[in-house]
Structure 1
């Protein structure tokens, strides 16, 4: 099947916490002249002041976060559809930790008339923890909110690796970036 070069692309940036998704998405957006939509910025801006306290002895309220992430992603996709309708590509820095979420966005892209391209960032856990600690300390660059050790560890449990079937479902094929 020949690729339509005029077709917009939804670039899905996938990776664990601290893998460099936002940095990579920003670079890709500049290269492709596509707007970038980052879930961390949306969550921090819209819900940062309302975030329930967590900490030692208090678990993260996953349902609270999940509901708001879903709302943000629905609005982000509405904006993306407008871009795609104008033949513009979009860069989605939404984490894509779960297979079902990746599949949903691939399907949404196809329905909107865009190709989906999944960029997987794989970085070792030690490097990712160091990056998160530095980002928390410096509060510059891609910092949107502090990521606690508890949040980092919790997010680790959410990530579902791409399986062989999923890797081959995305057209064009998945591009793997080992470092960000």
Structure 2
């Protein structure tokens, strides 16, 4: 790993955990590309807060990996903003990074479920972002596969964790 080695970051965590907010902050701080699956779904005319067929999510994932491939092939780091709720999705992203000799990190945003539920309720009032139906959210939580110990995970459970991560990674992107 050298300073010039690009990095593929995979944001991981439950919906409403703060992944997108953190991804935008990291992309801006590190001056790297942000690839958002929600944005890709929006481009494709889908409302990810309601039922989007698994086949369509799969296509969106492949579009995101094509975009990641383009950045890494040009020697640029990127953040992929998704829940990465299944290990096979994280492995897919890791494989794209490996093809380019890039480093790979899963950034697991660990937000307590009660805080996530409070954010969802607040969003029902503010409508700052797309709502997520209870049925879709409950299904998401029940099927979520948290990263295993053998995965390259950076756990971000507090502002202090984020500050330490920014300090450690910041030198790589200067």
> TM class, shorter-chain normalised?
0.7 to 0.9
Render the CA deviation track for 1:73-105: whole Å, top value 9, x for unaligned: 211211221111221111101110111111121
Partner secondary structure for residue 97 of structure 1:
coil
Tell me the TM-score normalised to structure 1 length. Answer: 0.80
15, 18, 24: which one aligns with 1:17 = 15
Runs of 4+ deviating beyond 6 Å: none
| Unaligned ranges ≥5, structure 2 | 160-174
Distance of 2:65 and 2:148 partners within structure 1: 25
2:157 alignment counterpart: 178
Render the CA deviation track for 1:121-145: whole Å, top value 9, x for unaligned: 11111100111222232122xx1x2
1:71 alignment counterpart: 59
Distance 1:45 1:132, change over 3 A: farther
Alignment of 1:18-37 (within 5 A): 18-37=16-35
How far is 1:45 from its partner?
3.4
Q: How many residue pairs end up in the alignment?
A: 158
40, 43, 47: which one aligns with 2:41 = 43
2:136 pairs with 1:151: yes
2:149 alignment counterpart: 164
How far is 1:179 from its partner?
3.5
Partner secondary structure for residue 95 of structure 1:
coil
Distance of 2:115 and 2:95 partners within structure 1: 33
| Unaligned ranges ≥5, structure 1 | 55-59
